[in-house]
Structure 1
């Protein structure tokens, strides 16, 4: 079939006339910190061409140079401080890949300049920091998002849809398991390990590092409702590797008509991030990023089961940095209980504060 050149040009012009002007523009991102190894994610994502890393803030030049060789960026992009970066570059958004403690300073520097911020999970070291960050974000009208790996799992979104459609009835119990064999056993680089096992910089061990996932997912499933009670238990099963922090944590969240058990651990023999949701009439299992199961109850212990291996979610819902750009451009509106949302993650920090208090005192903490 022949297609006229005029018709092709007309179609292209029509497409251009309805496309948003900002669609072809690259978001200018500054990366603050390289000590969190999730930073490799943004360097790999940049290759898709939707945003540009225009500057990097990292005092440790040896670390910056190692990553420069790996990701092929110029050391001319690397600055010693956020102040120096802002003086030299036009930055629209910041992604923070330093310690959790440093998240507050990133927002303190970026918010007054109207620069949007995405931090790695969790939002903040404690509620004191979180409240300051929230106030700054609201005062200066910036987006302040939190990134979790599990936010981008298609299996979790299928589970959420099954719950919201009533496919398994009302939620009664959720079990979330996250973790690995422990950072020391994984052989991660010292720049990351040093602060992961430092209670001042990370806020704790596994209770923070992996307990935050379950708190985030449960707040999403409950549409922003806080648990009434938080009970937590921690252990040091690898005292030689983690002398200052816990490496085993169980957090129990109590709601009016449901409960959740969050198991964050640095003692799993095999790394995992999975979730089970039990309703009144069935259950769903997000076994990993792609594998999803749905069970409908029949009788006492019989059930029917369907299994799916899911494809990646469609852009921009497949990747944190493409999502960040879409939010900044106004293509996506973030609901308060969404996984990346500030309001959701304020509750996450409140849950983690209560969990640490419960583990320390041996008592259940009631949330207001």
Structure 2
């Protein structure tokens, strides 16, 4: 409930007060190979931010996307260093492969430039810890963006859980995925690194497992699981020859359990969550549909359905949050969904899951 207030209500006041105080914030874009890069390119005409430079060595890709979004190729540079030195952005949004997130922070942090990366934070715990050290040494904000952070159902589910609507937490199930990157037709540049075990850190276990790890860590208020057990499959070797495309991760806590199902094999794309307490269950079926079931007897229940709306506009997008944090209008709570603390645990969970899947053994966290 507190984080919802911080990100939604408090931000609404701060946005109104501070908008007139800030000029358009200078934003740099690190890479164009991520399929979500359209988010920032579509934001080029916003009154609160200005894209001043893009670092992308693939000129063909850069030309295609800049033409598509009406952006001048004069803003495109071959290297991060050149882009940063010539345009001096206040913050950089990373839209390249996950392995390069460390290099982005290595370039930005010493220059005092804040960074927001697309999920997950890093490909490994080693990379994540280096990024954390750089962010702290140079006093920059390092934020991770997830689509599910902007779902009304995400915050309503957390609010109900904290209020005790379904009793003490016992189990969380998070499901994320789609048919697979090749089947849904992602562009060639995105597919190339998304199915590369080095550049992405894995397949579906990373691409979609990170959502569950992020949400479960937040709902457990920053607690780390005692152990991680994972099983992966490669059910589409013709499409994903180097990485897994099906993953199930089990997180064991002192008084609860979490199951993360990440898949590139679901016939219908999904991002949903179930939260089970001692007296009932919460179902976040999609961004705006939520159900609460309160137990009655053995198998009966009373169900209440809610149709939620994005009532806190314009704060259901990552860039407004980034600007609020950069300008000091918002201090993220510890273990908030975009926070560095939360996402270090996410990478720890994913690294343990990859290890467990490879070894066939449960990994106990220190």
Fold shared per TM-score above 0.5: yes
Give the TM-score of the pair, scaled to structure 2.
Answer: 0.94
Structure 1, residues 143-176: CA drift from partner, whole Å, max 9, x if none? Answer: 0000011111110110000011111111101000
Decide which of 151, 154, 158 is 1:153's aligned counterpart: 151
2:352 corresponds in structure 1 to 354
2:181 corresponds in structure 1 to 183
1:254 corresponds in structure 2 to 252
Note if 1:199 corresponds to 2:201: no
CA distance in structure 2 between the aligned counterparts of 1:23 and 1:302, rounded to whole angstroms = 55
State whether residues 155 and 310 of structure 1, in contact with CA within 8 Å, keep that contact through their aligned partners in structure 2. Answer: yes
1:10 corresponds in structure 2 to none
1:225 corresponds in structure 2 to 223
1:288 corresponds in structure 2 to 286
How do 1:273-284 and structure 2 match up within 5 A? 273-284=271-282
Structure 1, residues 90-123: CA drift from partner, whole Å, max 9, x if none? Answer: 2100000000000000000000010000001000
2:4 corresponds in structure 1 to none
Give secondary structure in 2 for the equivalent of 1:199: coil
State whether residues 19 and 48 of structure 2, in contact with CA within 8 Å, keep that contact through their aligned partners in structure 1. Answer: no
Give secondary structure in 2 for the equivalent of 1:124: coil
Change (3 A) 1:258 1:79: same
How do 1:168-179 and structure 2 match up within 5 A? 168-179=166-177
1:81 corresponds in structure 2 to 79
**Which structure 1 residue ranges, 4+ long, deviate > 6 Å from structure 2?**
none
CA distance in structure 2 between the aligned counterparts of 1:352 and 1:20, rounded to whole angstroms = 38
2:53 corresponds in structure 1 to 55
Higher RCO (CA < 8 A, seq sep 6+)? 2
1:116 corresponds in structure 2 to 114
2:7 corresponds in structure 1 to none
Note if 1:311 corresponds to 2:323: no
User: What value does the CA root-mean-square deviation take over the aligned residues?
Assistant: 1.4
* Structure 2 gaps, min length 5: 1-12
How do 1:122-161 and structure 2 match up within 5 A? 122-161=120-159
1:69 corresponds in structure 2 to 67
2:320 corresponds in structure 1 to 322
Change (3 A) 1:81 1:171: same
State whether residues 29 and 54 of structure 1, in contact with CA within 8 Å, keep that contact through their aligned partners in structure 2. Answer: yes
State whether residues 118 and 145 of structure 1, in contact with CA within 8 Å, keep that contact through their aligned partners in structure 2. Answer: yes
Give secondary structure in 2 for the equivalent of 1:200: coil
* Structure 1 gaps, min length 5: 1-14
Decide which of 201, 206, 209 is 2:207's aligned counterpart: 209
Structure 1, residues 2-50: CA drift from partner, whole Å, max 9, x if none? Answer: xxxxxxxxxxxxx9xx934764421110000000010101122344422
1:235 corresponds in structure 2 to 233
Deviation, 1:283, is 0.9
1:3 corresponds in structure 2 to none
Which structure would you say has the larger Rg?
Answer: 1
State whether residues 293 and 304 of structure 2, in contact with CA within 8 Å, keep that contact through their aligned partners in structure 1. Answer: yes
